[in-house]
Structure 1
């Protein structure tokens, strides 16, 4: 049979793998907690949900292989979990490096020299991302949280400038962004105002309130992307976060309705 005889149209309806990063205290975990439940929350050392959010968790993830074991149980056992939250990717990175060092028989990720340790860590990151993809194929939403950092971006078409990106080593940063269906940046809305301070002299200052935006498309100031023709940004209002995302997700019609009913 010719390959042309086997052609068919296809469209994925798997729940997306999302990566949500943003400035401190902007509400990343609160937003992720609005995803369809029951939710399994997997925190790394030092992470916890805000005081008004209650999430089910097996406790702090203490090793890379321990996290993969949890993924395996989710894939091999019967359960009701519809969403997994990994909090955070930058908290997971030292565990990834620890697993890489154990495999190589070295004490630190820098020990192999010439950046080889970070190259070797690609294998562990790909194992992690393979598990994340398997969860999505099994019908489970995966929301990965991360903190931001400001880095210099050397654009080939403009002068260098600074932008927000995910707080990971550049190799891991590229891997997790490539594999995610949605990379969203969350920040407060800020506007610049000019103020006269003297004769023919003005200074600019930033003004912002409590309004929060989630950005889905790349801009000069931050990394972002999506595979669902989502708008450049949507406002985040507590209790309506997943509903705003779900408008654009083919997998989310029923989940969106359930989320709205729960919020009501």
Structure 2
């Protein structure tokens, strides 16, 4: 058993939460080489690099897998915001189980399913950390009445804005998972407006970030940061160095030897040739690298197809005809039935919710030359 000591330099897991409009997205964009998965469209007016807007939980997981398969694409991966991502997760769980709401599950089991799904998702984000990629999750904040078991009375405290009931399930594992939690708010103070000091008004409004726990909010850090600081990235920039992946290639050097021509040519060929690795996650399609490459000679999906399915089709270069033939192959609908006429629960629960299995069928049929053509 190996015993190690000392600090281990690695990428970091960061949560930034606060009220809407305070500048969380702008702050996150200052991290090293950022890449956004923008779930709510908050980066529309920002000059940043972003992946397609996730319209389903499946698509968000594919984007994480894409970053994992292409670790040089960024140094910081940002999900903006996670509370909106939670909605996608809940929608998938409901579709998979043919439920209209997370509340429809008996005895609160729906929240258990969500906790398990979020846990698996955080594990996939941990794989990015191992590759030297920082992970930043932004989230909104909400005020909640809180009462200590050993105290009289109650007080308000800021918490992550997750589902009203899911917050008790999801917030704890998010806070445990993160290396750094930054709570951001407007700092105000009360000023007397009369001579007697009986009337006051709020002033200030400086944007401030808090880095340590307080009875009124959750925050933490592992860098001995001040309890509160101006909301400026420069204040924490020293915490985020260029993190090299844990898997590094050590070049072979032969000192004091005059290299021959073959010695000069051969090593670079070995180090520069990077054969494409097999799919890292068997649950994700092999076409993930096509986020960057626009489709050539590919007909866009029918505009009447629900967006969650349409986005998956575009990214994986799947045509309407391939979807219809795969559905007919499994015996769900006749091949000539338009996709927009499929039942909504079937689209969300099967085509979107089980997209990986659907796409495997399509790839198998492609290899067997089952398809007769593209879009009709």
TM-score normalised by the shorter chain: which range applies? 0.7 to 0.9
1:47 equivalent in alignment to 2:45: no
For each residue in 1:87-142, what CA deviation from the matched residue of structure 2 results, as whole angstroms up to 9, or x when unmatched?
Answer: 11110111111222234343321111332211211111012111221111111111
Decide whether the 8 Å contact of 2:212 with 2:227 is kept in 1.
Answer: yes
Q: 1:99·1:124 contact (CA, 8 Å) conserved in 2?
A: no
Does the residue aligned with 1:152 lie in a helix, a strand or coil? strand
1:173 aligns with 2:168: no
Displacement of 1:203 in angstroms is 2.0
Displacement of 1:43: 0.9
- The alpha-carbon distance between structure 1 residues 97 and 148, as it changes in their structure 2 partners (threshold 3 A), is same
Would the aligned equivalents of 2:75 and 2:134 in 1 still touch at CA under 8 Å?
yes
Quote how far apart the aligned CAs of 1:78 are.
5.1
- Counting only pairs closer than 5 Å after superposition, residues 95-106 of structure 1 correspond to structure 2 as 95-106=88-99
| Correspondence 1:1-264 to 2 at 5 A | 3=1, 6-37=2-33, 39-44=34-39, 46-49=40-43, 51=45, 53-77=46-70, 79-158=72-151, 159-168=153-162, 169-170=166-167, 171-196=169-194, 202-209=198-205, 211-237=206-232, 241=233, 243-247=234-238, 249=239, 251-252=240-241
Unaligned runs of 5+ in 1: 256-264
Q: CA-atom RMSD, angstroms?
A: 2.1
Residues 175-204 of structure 1 show CA distances to partners (whole Å, capped at 9, x for unaligned) of 21111111111112211112227xx56023
Q: Is the 8 A contact 2:67 2:73 kept in 1?
A: no
The 2-side partners of 1:77 and 1:222 are apart by: 36
TM value normalised by structure 1: 0.83
Distance in 1, Cα, partners of 2:62 & 2:19:
30
* Residue number in structure 1 paired with 2:321: none
TM-score scaled to structure 2, two decimals? 0.59
Superimposed CA distance per residue, residues 55-108 of structure 1 (whole angstroms, 9 cap, x where no aligned partner): 111221111121111111211235331111101111011111122223434332
> Structure 1 residues 179, 61: closer, same or farther in 2, change over 3 A?
same
Moved beyond 4 Å, runs of 4+: none
| Bigger fraction of residues in helix | 2
Retained in 2: the 8 A contact 1:146–1:166?
yes
1:135-162 Cα distance to aligned partner (Å, 9 max, x none): 1111111111111110011213433210
More strand by share: 1
3-state DSSP of counterpart to 1:196: coil
Number of equivalences:
239
Alpha-carbon separation, structure 1, partners of 2:197 and 2:185: 30
Query: Offset at 1:50?
Result: 6.4
Change over 3 Å in CA distance of 1:115–1:254 after alignment to 2: closer
What CA distance in whole angstroms lies between the structure 1 residues aligned with 2:100 and 2:19? 32
| 1:30 and 1:50 in contact (8 A); partners too | no
Structure 2 gap ranges (5+): 245-376
Larger Rg: 2
List per-residue Cα deviations over 1:197-231 (Å, max 9, x = no partner). Answer: 7xx5602321114x211111111221111233222
Equivalent-residue separation in structure 2 for 1:43 and 1:107 (angstroms): 25
